Structure 1
Amino acid sequence: MPLRLLKFARSNYPEPRMFRQPDRLQSSYDAVIIGGGGHGLAAAYYLARDYGMTKVAVLEKGYIGGGNTGRNTTIIRSNYLTPEGVKFYDESVRLWQDLSQDFDLNLFYSTRGHFTLAHTDAAVRTMRWRSEVNKHFGIKSELVSPEKIQQACPHLDLDCGGHAPVLGALYHAPGSIARHDAVAWGYGRGADQRGVEIHQQTEVLNITVKDDRITGVWTNRGEISTSKVLCAVAGFTPRLLQMVGLRSPLYIHPLQALVSEPMKPWLDPIIVSGSLHVYVSQTARGELVMGASLDPYELHSTRSTFDFAEGLAARMLDLFPFLSHVNIVRQWAGMADMTPDFAPIMGKTPIAGFYLDAGWGTWGFKATPVCGKTMAYTVANDQNHELIQDFSLDRFTNYELVGEKGAASVGH
């Protein structure tokens, strides 16, 4: 055992906790954030850091990072299709690159490069289209040949077992991965150090509205008076919207993923196939983190299934036949809140003081920093940030959809 570790074990744990555990709720707060995942904690962090709003409570029904923040495959990219999406996620990638320094915490942020494989002529045309949109906004994306893919990933079977030969790929150089739980801890600690209160095991039972304006929140630990509430609860969003009398076009599907046993590093880039419905990267510990498309049924559940593991394993073997002896060690499921146009719902709502951060489907983790920044601005100024103007809830009433499905990476 290393001497430093032995000293730490015998020192009665001198390291401070990541964040405080307040004994009780205060009677009032300047703002309440419902949801202690990455988005809610990031908004709290930037509210305190950038706008001096420290009398803020983050309410989490379970434990921080226990929802979709800890139930994803940690891929970070900005190679989207629409101008709205490209600008939004590009800002997020920029923020990601400095987060470890901001937090003084190793997030294991690692730039790998991201290949979205094209198996048909139509897919090749779409990749070329996305590449040109990305280049227009200064983002490094290009259509590459099978030879370039093979050079970057020699272990990939370009023939895919004869089922779906690879014809090319969209290569996105900034594609990265990070450690998802560390992101939640970093934002949580940063918010806590600036005075924000994080209340775990605190369930919201109702939200009080008077004259179409937020007045308070009822929890299992008592009532809170507040004039501002940010809802960032992913798949639980429809339940919170019912409390304030709002409706949305969200529909909830389980999204599953799994992890292999550790192996020596062999997969440097991130590989995604929309036709095979699979995406994979390798962690610093050597595990393969793998995901696929949504389960084909609406269900508010985080239970994993054998059918998913069996199907994903078969598609992985199409890409990497030599993995047939590798064991799966764990799997999980999250609740993906999907919108009809595959873009988020963000910003102000018809209820004064009620702000929404939802509709993240399969792409919420990569947007964590930019969501925190833009929603903090929106809550502090009661005005939608310019990057989220096109993601407002009323776009569905006005038929002004964003249309991001072509860049969702896997078919849903």
Structure 2
Amino acid sequence: MPHRLLKFAFSKEYPEPRMFNTPETLKPEYDVVIIGGGGHGLAAAYYLAKEHGITNVAVLEQGYIGGGGTGRNTSIIRSNYLTPEGARFYQTSVDLFQDLSRDLNLNLFYSERGHFTLAHSPASLRTQRWRAEVNQHLGISSRLVGPEFIKEQIPEIDLSCGGHQPPIHGALYHPPGAIARHDAVAWGYARGASQRGVEIHQKTAVTDIEIRDGAIAGVHTDKGFIKTKKVLSAVAGWTTHITRMVGLRTPLVIHPLQALVTEPVKPWLNAIVVSASLHVYVSQSSRGELVAGASLDPYELISMRSTLDFAEGLGGHMLELFPCLGEAKVLRQWAGLCDMTPDFSPIMGTTPIKGFYIDSGWGTWGFKATPVSGMTMASTLARDEDHELIRAFNLSRFEQFDLVGEKGAASVGH
């Protein structure tokens, strides 16, 4: 490091402010307590303060901010969903993402790449055509493309998959598909919320939630009791722990999902490539790393341990698509928790417990929903009424058998 830069870094004349406040103690009472310091919880805090003027808010995180699902995903952003409810919701999120760096005054490395969902059979191609037509009807930019277009956009791809898998017949192409830095999104929302008076408490675990006469009365933590009348649970894969505290039943099941990243290489993949048949999705980061993932681990388990079986399987399928990666070295791998719903749509909004709100059921598609989830949950908390974009996602739909079947666009589609 140059000596002049080092002198600048240690100079008291130019102190660098902290990204967000770190209060030593909890206040005895808050208007809103948000459990979970990931992207969704921090975004909800930010929009509560910015859009609704509610600043007496505590965000409680048992670990460090962005250390859960927000920091354990592949950062893909898209809106090519199948249901009208899903398409409107995720398109709003894409619209927010496109201006989010300016809004948060922080470079999120948002980069539109184009999203290819590959079809390896005539039947799969018909499905992608159906998705394209539904997307276009709903105002989403998607279209069916053939092998020639895929090869033109991604010269390194092997359309024959090395002869080991069915060849590529075409793809659903979604031009707005993008990636962003997930840690920057979390830190940007944390800073924005903190600047507006929200308190962020890391290393603060919730141990119980107190209910009196069917309404929220407060939150017990390992640092003391907090009075509050409103609690938002935004803890993704740990949701069942929180709902158990309030006696709320949900149809959530938790599965691990693994991903890996290679060493940085010269940029060559300027697209997001997804193959549901091979259970592969891959993109290249701004630093040159290839970020890739596969399908959910088949067992229900609250665990973030990675496995050799995943790395071997994913590595083999990546080589079938991109033989040029034969010498690429895996830098690291990790696992996250996916809180899955039966209809592959989230559970959001009000609950039968007055003052208890839920933001969960994110499965493998939570990061791309960060801005819209924060915006809609903030509105729901402020008005005690589900925002119009999330009414279809209320927990009550399972009791009423009014599901939002999104499996065709959400499963491994990232």
Please name the residue that 2:102 is paired with.
101
Q: Cα deviations across residues 219-274 of structure 1 (Å, max 9, x unaligned)?
A: 00000000000000001101110110111000000011000000000000000000
Distance in 2 (CA, whole Å) between partners of 1:365 and 1:2 is: 37
What does 1:341-356 correspond to in 2, within 5 Å? 341-356=343-358
Q: 1:150 to 1:4 in 2, by over 3 A?
A: farther
Distance 2:40 2:172 in 1: 28
Asked if 2 retains the 8 angstrom alpha-carbon contact of 1:273 and 1:409, the reply is: no
Distance 1:411 1:369 in 2: 20
1:255 alignment partner, one of 254, 257, 266: 257
Question: Does residue 177 of the first structure (1) align with residue 182 of the second (2)?
Answer: no
Match of 2:399 in 1: 397
Measured at CA, do residues 142 and 3 of structure 1 come closer, stay the same or move farther in structure 2, by a change above 3 Å?
farther
Paired residues of 2:274 and 2:282 also in contact (CA < 8 A): yes
Let me know the Cα RMSD of the aligned residues. 1.2
Cα deviation, 1:297-353, whole Å, max 9, x if unaligned, reads: 011011111111111000100100111111001111100000000000000000000
Give the aligned residue type for 2:11. Answer: S
Match of 2:8 in 1: 8
SS at match of 2:86: helix
Separation of aligned partners in 2, 1:3 and 1:391: 56
Kept after mapping to 1: 8 A contact 2:364/2:412: no
Check if 1:143 corresponds to 2:144: yes
Whole-angstrom distance in 2 between the partners of 1:219 and 1:289: 36
Distance 1:216 1:71, change over 3 A: same
Cα distance in structure 2, aligned partners of 1:253 and 1:26: 36
Contact kept? 1:275, 1:410, Cα under 8 Å: no
Paired residue type of 2:23: P
Rounded to whole Å, the distance in 1 between the matches of 2:44 and 2:185 is 13
Alignment correspondent of 2:233 = 231
Q: Residue type matched to 2:335 in 1?
A: A
Contact 1:35 1:231 in 2 (8 A): yes
* Percentage of identical aligned residues: 69
Partner residue of 1:210 out of 212, 217, 222: 212
Provide the C-alpha distance between the structure 1 equivalents of 2:170 and 2:7, rounded to a whole number of angstroms.
54
Q: Does 1:367 align with 2:369?
A: yes
Map 1:10-25; keep pairs closer than 5 Å. 10-11=10-11, 14-25=15-26
Give the partner amino acid of 1:248.
Answer: T
Superposed CA deviations along residues 135-168 of structure 1, whole A, max 9, x for unmatched, are 1122110000010000000000001112120011
Farther-moved stretch of structure 1 (27-36 vs 400-409): 400-409
Q: 1:284 aligns with which of 269, 273, 286?
A: 286
Q: Give the drift of 1:7.
A: 3.6
- Which residue identity lines up with residue 168 of structure 1 in the other structure? G
The aligned residue for residue 299 of structure 2 is 297
Aligned AA for 1:302?
Answer: M
Q: Aligned pair in 2 of structure 1 residues 314, 96: CA closer, same or farther (>3 Å)?
A: same
The one-letter code sitting in structure 2 at the alignment partner of 1:160 is C
Question: Shift of residue 410 of structure 1?
Answer: 1.9
Maintained 8 Å contact 2:72/2:336:
yes
2:384 partner amino acid: D
Contact residue 260 and residue 329 of structure 1 kept, 8 A: yes
Q: Is the 8 A contact 1:120 1:167 kept in 2?
A: yes
The match for 1:164 is 166
- Residues 1:196 and 2:198 are matched in the alignment: yes
Query: Cα–Cα, structure 1 residues 341 and 7, in superposed 2: closer, same or farther, change >3 Å?
Result: same
Q: Rate the CA distance shift 1:193–1:166 in 2: closer, same or farther, 3 A.
A: same
Whole-Å Cα distance in 1 between the matches of residues 388 and 188 of structure 2? 26
Separation of aligned partners in 2, 1:26 and 1:9: 34
The CA deviation at 1:5 is 3.1
Task: Give 2:341's aligned residue.
Answer: 339
Distance in 1, matches of 2:96 and 2:7, equals 36
Q: Which runs of 5+ in 1 are unaligned?
A: none
Moved more, 265-274 or 123-132: 123-132
114-123 or 45-54, which deviates more: 114-123
Q: Between Structure 1 and Structure 2, how many residues are aligned?
A: 412
SS where residue 400 of structure 2 aligns?
coil
* Amino acid in structure 2 at the alignment position of 1:16: P
SS of aligned partner of 2:11: coil
- SS for the counterpart of 2:396 is helix
